[in-house]
Chain A
Amino acid sequence: MSTPAAPQPQATPATSLLKTLGLVSTVCGLIIVGAYQGTYDAAAANRRLALERTVFKVVPAAKSMAEWQATPQGIRPAAGEPAAGAVKFYAAYDAQGVLAGIAAEGAAKGYADTVRILYGYSPACQCITGFGLVSSKETPGIGDKIVTDREFLANFEALDVKLNAELSALANEVKAVKHGSKANPWQIDAIAGATVTSRAVGKAINDSAQLLLPKLVPELEKLGKKPS
């Protein structure tokens, strides 16, 4: 006589599995969309505020700003999607609406990841007047000295970015040099121990300025007054 087989556990029907998964996905989808809608404005305002704060930091006299783009055909206020090959920059105006300076973004590979910066350009002296960090993952205590080290920041009080006679490129390439060997106003005295990050700042400024300034400088008068 054979022993009776143990009762087989009932298989869960496929419809029940699908129903559960469908229900859970729907509820979760609603929660996500609700959170997205609910926080979108605040997050966008936060991003705009952070950008404005950095622009006002690198152009200290600024009280308001406008977004522009430099295209091969000339510069124009940014509206909608940027054209291919266009470089974005910010015109910063003082309290009277007079151009106080230009701010533009630059990026270069640092020690850990891409270092993204925003630098201020003064048309009056044709020089860089300061820079701020947009994002960086550089080593705390070493690479992140680029925004705290006074000696390093002094490099950016009047960093020379004059154009050459044809206005086609910078007269001298901006470059970070070994600590203590800065000899010219277009060189950056690197922080000892954080040479890679210092170089990234130099390269970010150089790459961006080489692209932007030849397009921007010939048309500077367009920026003269704040567009109303």
Chain B
Amino acid sequence: MSDLAQARTFDEFLEGIWRQNPVFVMVLGMCPTLAVTVSAVNALSMGLATAFVLVCSCGLVSLIRNIVPKEVRIATYIVIIATFVTVVDYVIQAVSLAVYEALGAFIQLIVVNCIILGRAEAHASKHPPLTAMVNALGMSIGFVIGLLALGTVREILGAGTLFGFSLFGANFQPWVVMVLPPGGFIVLGAWLLLFAALKRRKEARLVAPGGGHGA
């Protein structure tokens, strides 16, 4: 692989993690992001399950991109995505019933996660398999980071634990709202606020070089 191609592939990889982060920048896939992030373990399992589906389906979509007529492409992509979701559903049942119970219907709902169909349509159907899978892997890691950012904060504040380990001892009074649905919105809002503030600061620095404030 030439240096240029290598750099481009690496760029594809970083795209999803930072510049196009599905949670914090594109605000996609909010259903699992808000619903399953009551604990770090749930967030991580959901992220990994989605990552598996995303990378595999993008690989397969890219592999058959030249033989799929555009008239039937959505049907094809959905069948492929649903296939890998079914596989992940079986695998989680075989690995851990506790995780399967905790994630509940949200495993099956990965089928309609817009990040995956979005990647298949916008990227994988136009790029060769390796590039498509690298891009999908970057997106997946970005999604896992997004879910973990919510899951860890909500678990620490709402249950006083992290990955199940108690952090503050027995006298900790949990902030229960954090593990309820409103807590998901509050924590997501706080993260989006932080990212928006960082972006604004960076833009201000670009407008007024030399470190001065833009306004």
Q: Does B215 contact A (CB under 8 A)?
A: no
Q: Does A8 contact B (CB under 8 A)?
A: no
Q: Does B130 contact A (CB under 8 A)?
A: no
A32 touches B69 (CB 8 A): no
A/B pair count, beta carbons within 8 Å: 69
Given A17-B71, A20-B76, are A35 and B91 also a contact pair (CB < 8 Å)?
Answer: yes
B83 touches A32 (CB 8 A): yes
Given A20-B67, A39-B94, A141-B158, are A28 and B72 also a contact pair (CB < 8 Å)?
Answer: no
Interface residues of B in 72-122 (CB under 8 A from A): 72, 75-76, 79-80, 82-84, 86-87, 90-91, 93-97, 101, 104
B180 touches A140 (CB 8 A): yes
Given A25-B79, A35-B90, A139-B180, are A16 and B69 also a contact pair (CB < 8 Å)?
Answer: yes
Q: Which residue of A lies closest to B89 (CB)?
A: A35
Total residues of chain B contacting the partner, CB 8 A: 31
Distance in angstroms between the alpha carbons of A24 and B96 in the assembled complex? 30
Given A20-B67, A20-B69, A50-B97, are A141 and B174 also a contact pair (CB < 8 Å)?
Answer: yes
Distance in angstroms between the alpha carbons of A42 and B97 in the assembled complex? 11
B96 touches A20 (CB 8 A): no
Q: Does A168 contact B (CB under 8 A)?
A: no
Q: Does A181 contact B (CB under 8 A)?
A: no
A32 touches B86 (CB 8 A): yes
Q: Does A135 contact B (CB under 8 A)?
A: yes
Q: Which residue of B lies closest to A21 (CB)?
A: B72
0/1 per residue, A14-58, Cβ < 8 Å to B?
A: 001100110111001001100110110011001100100000000
6 residue pairs of the A-B complex, CB under 8 angstroms, read: A20-B76, A24-B68, A31-B83, A140-B158, A141-B159, A141-B179
Q: A31-B84, A42-B95 are in contact. List 14 more A-B contacts (CB 8 A).
A: A17-B69, A21-B72, A21-B75, A23-B67, A24-B76, A28-B80, A32-B83, A39-B90, A39-B91, A43-B94, A46-B94, A137-B104, A140-B38, A141-B159
Interface residues of B (CB under 8 A from A): 38, 64, 67-69, 71-72, 75-76, 79-80, 82-84, 86-87, 90-91, 93-97, 101, 104, 158-159, 174, 176, 179-180
